Structure 1
Amino acid sequence: MKLVDILFLLTLAMVLSTAISSDLDPLQDLCVADLASGVKVNGFTCKEASKVNASDFFSSILSQPGSTNNTLGSLVTGANVEKVPGLNTLGVSLSRIDYAPDGLNPPHTHPRATEVVFVLEGQLDVGFITTSNVLISKTINKGDIFVFPKGLVHFQKNNGNVHASVISAFNSQLPGTQSIAATLFAATPPVPDHVLTKAFQVGTKEVDKIKSRLAPKK
């Protein structure tokens, strides 16, 4: 193989790796999401430029703690393109996560983004699992950051006796979240019991018990 061919392949590999590392780069100054249009083409269509204003780029949604009075003792408040239309095509978003004492943000993944958390208050035990089933975990405190690689299962747990909170940053306007337990045991239509019993090596009663606890409240 000629040197020029090798250089071409290396350049192509670098370009492709950059292109798929996060959301696509915008091709215009801005493209405020027209959430009412109902049209999605790997993102949202653009609002008419004459209708764009500062409120499209502003939100105070993360300024106040979320209510953690729920089964898990945690609440994620997202500031993504669905809440801040000006984020459309910009490839970034934020979330705030609040944790009651003993609160858990359960094992989940973000299929479209890497996440980095910055601790506002409290202490958390955090970790992610590699595809080799290796747990990488650490206790983080106020002012610390921790990174969760794109697509890997991860969690945060408040083992303290006071409230904790973090700000999460993502390299996607809409990173998506798949909670492992809810994905498997509360899907619609449901994942067949025989799949779950074999995968988790448990009986049907155990599967039904988990499903009943994760079923959406009516």
Structure 2
Amino acid sequence: MADDPHITSDFLVPENSKAINSSFFTLTAMRTLFKPNPPATFSVTKATMAEFPALKGQSVSYAALEFPAGGSVDPLHAHPRSAELLFVVHGCVEVGFVDTRGKLLTQKVEEGDMFLFPKGVVHFEYNIEEEIPAFAVSAFGSASPGTEWVDGGLFGAEVEDEILAKSFQTDVATIQKIKRGLEAKK
């Protein structure tokens, strides 16, 4: 049930819709990407099933990533229901992921390059240029790829501090300090 549904029609009509026309198949949210000034912080504009209901059952979605100079997707994250194919349109982005053997694989991805993050792996992207913004587009093989944030998933959930301390081979005071730091970022 975690995969996109296998449909037997051209598209799926939302339950509350009476008539479908061509506007159902159009998303205009990406128009905001063509503004003159890049954002001051990392920004993502998504085209998933949540933002674009026509994608339901189509096994595809996009995300447009705008990196300010030196900016990053923060924090580490994974997409449990899809691989991610990153295409750098402008700038240079350092990317990497940790495979299931615990091996870190990193790459400098330049304008015109693509990089694949396998489904479900913890990964990162950041703009290594300190004075130039970067822009990339990610394609996903799911209308709802999902995002699991490493920090929120571990430290934002209701996992007891004692369990986290044992897992990370540290003490409760350190875990609480990490949680306070993450809370301050919000």
Runs (5+) with no aligned partner, structure 1: 1-19, 35-45
How far is the alpha carbon of 1:156 from its aligned partner?
0.4
Q: Which residue of 1 aligns with 2:160?
A: 192
Task: Give the alignment partner of residue 202 of structure 1, picking from 170, 173, 186.
Answer: 170
Task: Give the alignment partner of residue 85 of structure 1, picking from 45, 50, 53.
Answer: 53
How far is the alpha carbon of 1:216 from its aligned partner?
8.3
CA contact (8 A) 2:81 2:142 kept: yes
Distance in 1 (alpha carbons) for counterparts of 2:24 and 2:184: 32
Runs (5+) with no aligned partner, structure 2: none
Task: Give the alignment partner of residue 166 of structure 1, picking from 122, 136, 139.
Answer: 136
CA contact (8 A) 2:4 2:144 kept: no
* Count of residue correspondences: 180
**Structure with higher RCO (Cα < 8 A, 6+ apart):** 2
- Residues 68-147 of structure 1 correspond to what in structure 2 (within 5 A)? 68-69=39-40, 73-105=41-73, 106-147=75-116
How far is the alpha carbon of 1:134 from its aligned partner?
0.9
Q: Which residue of 2 aligns with 1:15?
A: none
CA contact (8 A) 1:62 1:95 kept: no
Percent identity, aligned pairs only? 34
Q: Which residue of 2 aligns with 1:151?
A: 120
Distance in 2 (alpha carbons) for counterparts of 1:165 and 1:129: 23
Could you tell which deviates more after superposition, 60-69 or 197-206? 60-69
Distance in 2 (alpha carbons) for counterparts of 1:149 and 1:93: 15
Q: Which residue of 2 aligns with 1:53?
A: 21
Distance in 2 (alpha carbons) for counterparts of 1:25 and 1:200: 41
TM-score when scaled to structure 1? Answer: 0.75
User: Quick check: 1:180 aligned with 2:161?
Assistant: no
TM-score when scaled to structure 2? Answer: 0.87
Q: Which residue of 2 aligns with 1:26?
A: 7
Q: Deviations over 1:116-136 (max 9, x none)?
A: 011111101101111001111
How far is the alpha carbon of 1:47 from its aligned partner?
4.7
Structure of higher CA gyration radius: 1
Distance in 2 (alpha carbons) for counterparts of 1:121 and 1:81: 26
Q: Output the aligned Cα RMSD.
A: 2.2
CA contact (8 A) 1:110 1:175 kept: yes
